[in-house]
């Protein structure tokens, strides 16, 4: 039977060191109730639902801080690019001042649903918040959203730092909104450290995922700490249309770290950096790139006339 790799966004028509870490993973002085509360707060609660107007997927709150001391918290969510790609629009616009064309990004807003829980994990309320797509890399299938919400989000995921790595047989939880239901988790183990799909590396695992899980979280424990270790992104479907939920593939920590560094989003992992500093650095790079393109590739007069004629 042939299997096909598929992405996991929901769309609607018309709508031993490792042994030591493992041994320390369950603190001996914690009660069963304490361990459940820890999983709820560190594994389940940071996950949100991301809607794109015609479907959606999941996301994970990875930052909610007032590092600049303004009394307003800045909140960021990591998700898959393919969850929000229909919101991204790039237009070619004529600039009269520079007498050249520029590419201008005009994106629609995503809607992120935040959840509040009662003791034990029952959903009490959900709040819809508008969010901007502020950074993305399509080839990495990762995007960062900034919520238009300035209140502190209590539960956030901690991104796995360099130097810590997933291992085969390591216990993981895949958390998301399968079929766009409220956030839920499945449990499994790492089965594949690096599987190349379309020449891109993914981590494989048995924590079940299906459409709607895209953009959510893969969480695992290292010692006493829980970390965000991946983004559920792909699964396998047989030719008969049956989806194989236990063949899940997740964007690995190395690709998440590369996205953060290459996109100048260091504030997500570096407490000494602020979101404003990162965004200013990104804007400077974008401005310099635009200036180089204008100086290097001036728009031919014939192209301008051709475009004018086409508009008449």
Radius of gyration over alpha carbons of the chain, in Å? 21
Q: Is 307 part of any domain?
A: no
pLDDT digits (tens, 9 = 90+) for 83-93: 999 999 999 99
Torsion of CA 44, 47, 48, 54, to 10 degrees: -110
CATH number at residue 69: 2.40.10.120
What is the span of the domain harbouring residue 11? 3-296
Average pLDDT over residues 128-157: 97
135-147 confidence digits (pLDDT tens): 999 999 999 999 9
Tokens of 212: 């709607």
Inside any domain, residue 310: no
Which pLDDT value is given to residue 194? Answer: 87
In angstroms, rounded to a whole number, what is the distance separating the alpha carbons of residues 142 and 28?
A: 37
What are the structure tokens assigned to 53, written together? 């107007």
Whether 189 contacts 109, CB under 8 Å: no
Placement of tokens 């970390």 in the chain: 227
Helices then strands, counting H and E runs in the chain, come out as: 6, 16
The rounded mean pLDDT for the chain is 85
Q: Is residue 82 part of a domain?
A: yes
Q: How many domains does the chain have?
A: 1
Contacts of residue 98, Cβ cutoff 8 Å, sequence gap at least 6: 294
Mean pLDDT over 259-274 rounds to 96
State mean pLDDT over 224-241.
87
Summarised one tens digit per residue, pLDDT across range 183-219 is 999 999 999 998 999 999 999 999 999 999 999 999 9
Token readout for 176 is 């998301």
């Amino acid at each position: 039977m042939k299997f096909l790799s598929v992405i996991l966004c929901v769309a609607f028509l018309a709508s031993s060191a490792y042994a030591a870490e493992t041994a320390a993973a369950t603190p001996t002085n914690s009660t069963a109730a304490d361990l459940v509360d820890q999983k709820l707060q560190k594994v389940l609660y940071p996950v949100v639902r991301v809607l794109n107007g015609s479907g959606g997927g999941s996301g994970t709150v990875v930052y909610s801080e007032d590092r600049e001391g303004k009394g307003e918290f800045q909140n960021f969510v990591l998700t898959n690019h393919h969850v929000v790609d229909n919101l991204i629009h790039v237009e070619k616009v004529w600039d009269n001042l520079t007498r050249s064309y520029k590419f201008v990004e005009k994106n629609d807003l995503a809607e992120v649903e935040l959840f509040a829980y009662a003791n034990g994990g029952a959903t009490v309320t959900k709040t819809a918040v508008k969010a901007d797509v502020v950074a993305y890399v399509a080839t990495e299938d990762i995007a960062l959203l900034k919520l238009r919400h300035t209140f502190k989000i209590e539960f956030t995921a901690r991104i796995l730092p360099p130097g810590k790595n997933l291992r085969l047989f390591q216990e993981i939880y895949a958390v998301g909104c399968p079929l766009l239901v409220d956030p839920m988790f499945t449990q499994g183990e790492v089965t594949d450290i690096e599987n190349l799909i379309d020449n891109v590396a993914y981590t494989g695992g048995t924590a079940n995922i299906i459409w709607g899980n895209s953009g959510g979280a893969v969480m695992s424990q290292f010692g006493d700490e829980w970390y965000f270790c991946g983004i559920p992104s792909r699964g396998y479907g047989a030719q008969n249309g049956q989806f194989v939920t236990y063949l899940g593939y997740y964007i690995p920590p190395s690709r998440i770290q590369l996205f953060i560094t290459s996109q100048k989003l260091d504030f997500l992992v570096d407490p000494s950096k602020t979101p404003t500093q990162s965004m200013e650095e990104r804007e400077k790079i974008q401005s310099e790139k635009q200036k180089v393109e204008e100086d290097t590739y001036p728009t031919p007069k014939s192209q301008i006339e051709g475009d004018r004629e086409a508009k008449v």
